[in-house]
Structure 1
Amino acid sequence: MPTVRRARPDTRADVCPDGPAEPHILFVEDDEVIRNTVRIALQRYGFTVSTAADGLTGLELFRETRPDLLVLDVMLPELDGIGLCRRIRESSLVPILMVTARGDDLDIISGLEAGADDYVVKPCESAVLVARIRSLLRRASFAPAGPAADSGGPATGEEVLRFGDLTIDTDGMEVRRAGEITALTPTELRLLLVFAASPGVVLERRTLLRQVWDHAWDGDTRVVDLHVKRLRAKIGAHRIDTVRGFGYKLRR
Structure 2
Amino acid sequence: MGAMDSAPRPSVGTANSGYRALVVDDEAPLAEVVASYLEREQFDVTVRHSGADALAVARDVDPDVVVLDLGLPGIDGVEVCRQLRTFSDAYVVMLTARDSEVDKIVGLSVGADDYVTKPFSPRELVARIRAMLRRPRTVGAPVPVRNARDASAPAPRVFGSLTIDVAGRAVHLDGEPINLTRTEFDILAALSSRPGVVWSRRQLIDAIWGEPWVGNDHLVDVHVGHVRRKLGDDPSNPRFVFTVRGVGYRMGTGQ
* Same fold per superposition (TM over 0.5): yes
- CA change 1:213–1:105 in 2 (3 A) is same
SS class of match (1:116):
coil
Q: CA deviation at 1:47?
A: 1.0
Q: CA deviation at 1:42?
A: 1.2
Q: CA deviation at 1:166?
A: 0.5
Gaps of 5+ in 1: 1-6
Matched residues, number: 242
Partner AA of 2:252 in structure 1: R
Instruction: Map 1:77-96 to 2 at 5 A.
Output: 77-96=73-92
Find out whether 1:134 has 2:142 as its counterpart: no
Find out whether 1:16 has 2:10 as its counterpart: yes
SS class of match (2:33):
helix
Q: CA deviation at 1:87?
A: 0.2
- CA change 1:234–1:71 in 2 (3 A) is same
Q: Which residue of 2 aligns with 1:26?
A: 22
Q: Which residue of 1 aligns with 2:185?
A: 189
Separation in 2, partners of 1:108, 1:218: 13
- CA change 1:59–1:232 in 2 (3 A) is same
Separation in 2, partners of 1:110, 1:8: 31
Cα shift readout 1:172-223 (whole Å, capped 9, x = no counterpart): 1211111111111111111111101111111111111101111368561121
CA contact (8 A) 2:201 2:218 kept: no
1:209 to 176, 190, 205: 205
Find out whether 1:64 has 2:65 as its counterpart: no
- CA change 1:216–1:49 in 2 (3 A) is closer
Q: Which residue of 2 aligns with 1:174?
A: 170
Q: CA deviation at 1:14?
A: 4.1
CA contact (8 A) 2:13 2:39 kept: no
Q: Which residue of 2 aligns with 1:4?
A: none
CA contact (8 A) 1:39 1:49 kept: yes
SS class of match (1:15):
coil
Separation in 2, partners of 1:75, 1:216: 24
Q: Which residue of 1 aligns with 2:139?
A: 144
Q: Which residue of 2 aligns with 1:244?
A: 245
SS class of match (2:134):
helix
Separation in 2, partners of 1:19, 1:131: 18
Q: CA deviation at 1:78?
A: 2.2
1:47 to 43, 54, 58: 43
- What TM-score, normalized to structure 2? 0.87
Partner AA of 1:120 in structure 2: V
Instruction: Map 1:93-108 to 2 at 5 A.
Output: 93-108=89-104
Separation in 2, partners of 1:16, 1:249: 46
Q: CA deviation at 1:131?
A: 1.1
CA contact (8 A) 1:9 1:54 kept: no
CA contact (8 A) 1:25 1:67 kept: yes
Q: Which residue of 1 aligns with 2:115?
A: 119
SS class of match (1:77):
coil
Find out whether 1:225 has 2:226 as its counterpart: no
Cα shift readout 1:69-104 (whole Å, capped 9, x = no counterpart): 111000112211110000011122221111111523
Partner AA of 1:116 in structure 2: A
Q: CA deviation at 1:251?
A: 1.0
Q: CA deviation at 1:39?
A: 1.1
Q: CA deviation at 1:145?
A: 2.7
CA contact (8 A) 1:112 1:118 kept: yes
Partner AA of 2:227 in structure 1: L
- CA change 1:242–1:250 in 2 (3 A) is same
